[in-house]
């Protein structure tokens, strides 16, 4: 049976109202599970998550909503009114219904972090934690603005990486199209000519001629298989298992590994800085920032520093020992800890790693483009060389 997502409002042990999400096959199953957990349920309704699965919320819409909410709350607009205004300004957008559901939860007495997490679950996990800290510290406008900046940074980095890969991908696809054209049109004609001349083929010439004839005879089947494999890979890449596999592959690839680690360390440092600025303690900020990282080395190193922080070790020493920070970054954190400007120093660490990431991306692009050109040239050159070698063999046999 297909699981459904429900939003429920309940009273916690302190008598405060909390809003959470729950996945269960049916409404009755959800109620039974909540009763088993001892929750006092005030409301239970099916979440709008099924709408989200069909109409995905774009990152740009989520960032825009946070930015507008930060501006309005800073200007003194009531939180509920601000959310309703933003929802009304985005008619027909997927995010509008999620914002209206958030407003309904606020009217029922929920806090913004819980209401947003239940009604708009597409934000990164650190956004809800930062909003919760901002509500507790009275710095909600600042936190909303910083959270929007962090999401915009991550979106910008992803776009920069995609843009850097466009030209090499175009070269590879153009080369593949050229090879298919040669196999489908040129090679079969050479095969007929060589067959009429009763030429003896060997080595690369024989391989290319047989491959071209096979592609020409089964072009429809081969192209269909390629399309199905591409669709399957794309679908797998969008799953959690696929993302973990791609992350593992990226961390195992020279050059890409440095780029990924620089990007992750930038995001991790900036989230710690945001958390500290919002009044979150170092231990909770470390766990929050590590939770926003994908599975990999940096997340493992960051979480490995938590026991040392709990035991009272200095922040720079704990992160340096677990390899979460380099020696240069640790020196910045050490200075921030002594001066009481720890959040500013983590922000400086993020800026330094961002600059390193951009330099690495430029170097990676400069290397990748000639590699793609060389690969395409070698592939087409091998085909042409094999055909020329076959013709030379015919002329030599005639002579």
At 46 the pLDDT is 67
Give the 3-state secondary structure of residue 44.
Answer: strand
Looking at the structure, tell me whether residues 112 and 146 fall in a common domain: no
Looking at the structure, tell me whether residues 114 and 136 fall in a common domain: no
Q: Which of 76, 91, 123 is the last residue of a domain?
A: 123
Looking at the structure, tell me whether residues 101 and 133 fall in a common domain: no
Measure the CA angle with vertex 133, ends 143 and 6; round to 5°. 100
Q: Can you read off the two tokens belonging to residue 120?
A: 């708009």
Radius of gyration of the chain (CA): 29
Q: Which of 85, 105, 123 is the last residue of a domain?
A: 123
Backbone angles phi and psi of 55, in degrees to 5: -120, 95
Q: Can you read off the two tokens belonging to residue 380?
A: 């087409």
- Residue 116 has a CB neighbour count (10 Å cut-off) of 27
Domain count for the chain, please give it: 2
Query: How many Å apart are CA 49 and CA 7, to the nearest integer?
Result: 10
b/e string for 154-181 if b means 16 or more Cβ within 10 A? beebeebbeebeeebeebbeebeeebbe
Looking at the structure, tell me whether residues 187 and 319 fall in a common domain: yes
Looking at the structure, tell me whether residues 147 and 243 fall in a common domain: yes
The residue with tokens 């930060």 is 70
Looking at the structure, tell me whether residues 302 and 161 fall in a common domain: yes
Out of 94-103, 162-171, 185-194, pick the least confident.
Answer: 185-194
Q: Can you read off the two tokens belonging to residue 396?
A: 């030599």
Provide the domain limits for residue 97.
4-123
Mean pLDDT to the nearest integer, 383-398? 74
> pLDDT tens, 29-54?
777 777 777 777 777 766 644 444 44
Q: Can you read off the two tokens belonging to residue 244?
A: 């973990």
Give the 3-state secondary structure of residue 24.
Answer: strand
Looking at the structure, tell me whether residues 98 and 139 fall in a common domain: no
Looking at the structure, tell me whether residues 113 and 130 fall in a common domain: no
Mean pLDDT to the nearest integer, 327-339? 88
Looking at the structure, tell me whether residues 361 and 268 fall in a common domain: yes
Query: How many Å apart are CA 215 and CA 265, to the nearest integer?
Result: 47
The residue with tokens 């601000």 is 82
At 341 the pLDDT is 87
> Which residues partner with 22 through β-bridges?
6
Half-sphere exposure of residue 287, counting CA atoms within 13 Å on the CB side?
10
Looking at the structure, tell me whether residues 193 and 279 fall in a common domain: yes
At 116 the pLDDT is 87
At 43 the pLDDT is 72
DSSP 341: -
Q: Can you read off the two tokens belonging to residue 141?
A: 């406008």
Looking at the structure, tell me whether residues 172 and 232 fall in a common domain: yes
At 253 the pLDDT is 76
16: pLDDT confidence band, cut at 50, 70 and 90? low
> pLDDT tens, 336-379?
888 888 888 988 988 888 888 888 888 888 888 888 888 888 88
Measure the CA angle with vertex 335, ends 334 and 341; round to 5°. 105
249: pLDDT confidence band, cut at 50, 70 and 90? confident
Looking at the structure, tell me whether residues 198 and 254 fall in a common domain: yes
Q: Can you read off the two tokens belonging to residue 328?
A: 């240069």
Q: Which of 123, 149, 182 is the last residue of a domain?
A: 123
Residues 218/199, Cβ–Cβ less than 8 Å: no
Query: How many Å apart are CA 345 and CA 354, to the nearest integer?
Result: 14
> pLDDT tens, 53-71?
445 788 888 888 899 999 9
């Amino acid at each position: 049976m297909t699981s459904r997502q429900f939003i429920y409002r309940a009273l916690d042990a302190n008598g405060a109202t909390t809003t959470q999400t729950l996945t269960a096959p049916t409404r009755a199953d959800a109620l039974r599970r909540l009763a088993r957990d001892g929750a006092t349920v005030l409301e239970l309704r099916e979440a709008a998550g099924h709408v989200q699965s069909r109409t995905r919320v774009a990152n740009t819409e989520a960032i825009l909503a946070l930015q507008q909410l930060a501006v309005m709350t800073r200007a003194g607009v009531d939180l509920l009114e601000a959310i309703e205004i933003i929802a009304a300004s985005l008619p027909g957008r997927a995010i509008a219904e999620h914002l209206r559901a958030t407003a309904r939860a606020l009217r029922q007495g929920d806090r913004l972090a819980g209401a947003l997490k239940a009604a708009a679950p597409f934000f990164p996990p650190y956004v809800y934690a930062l909003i919760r800290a901002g509500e507790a510290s009275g710095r909600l406008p600042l936190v909303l603005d910083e959270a929007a900046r962090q999401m915009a940074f991550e979106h910008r980095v992803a776009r920069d990486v995609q843009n850097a890969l466009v030209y090499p991908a175009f070269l590879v696809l153009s080369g593949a199209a050229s090879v298919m054209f040669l196999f489908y049109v040129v090679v079969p004609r050479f095969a007929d000519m060589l067959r009429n001349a009763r030429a003896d083929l060997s080595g690369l010439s024989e391989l290319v001629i047989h491959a071209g004839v096979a592609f020409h005879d089964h072009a429809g089947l081969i192209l269909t298989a390629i399309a199905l494999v591409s669709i399957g890979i794309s679908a797998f890449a969008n799953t959690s298992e696929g993302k973990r596999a791609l992350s593992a592959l990226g961390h195992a690839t020279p050059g890409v590994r440095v780029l990924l680690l620089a990007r992750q360390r930038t995001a991790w440092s900036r989230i710690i800085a945001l958390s500290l600025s919002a009044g979150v303690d170092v231990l909770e900020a470390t766990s929050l920032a590590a939770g926003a990282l994908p599975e990999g080395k940096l997340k493992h190193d960051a979480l490995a520093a938590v026991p040392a922080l709990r035991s009272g070790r200095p922040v720079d020493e704990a992160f340096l020992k677990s390899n979460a920070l380099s020696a240069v970054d640790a020196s910045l954190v050490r200075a921030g800890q002594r001066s009481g400007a720890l959040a500013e120093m983590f922000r400086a660490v993020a800026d330094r790693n961002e600059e390193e990431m951009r330099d690495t991306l430029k170097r990676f692009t400069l290397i990748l483009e000639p590699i793609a050109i060389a690969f395409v040239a070698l592939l087409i050159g091998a085909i042409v060389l094999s055909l020329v070698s076959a013709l030379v063999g015919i002329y030599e046999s005639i002579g």
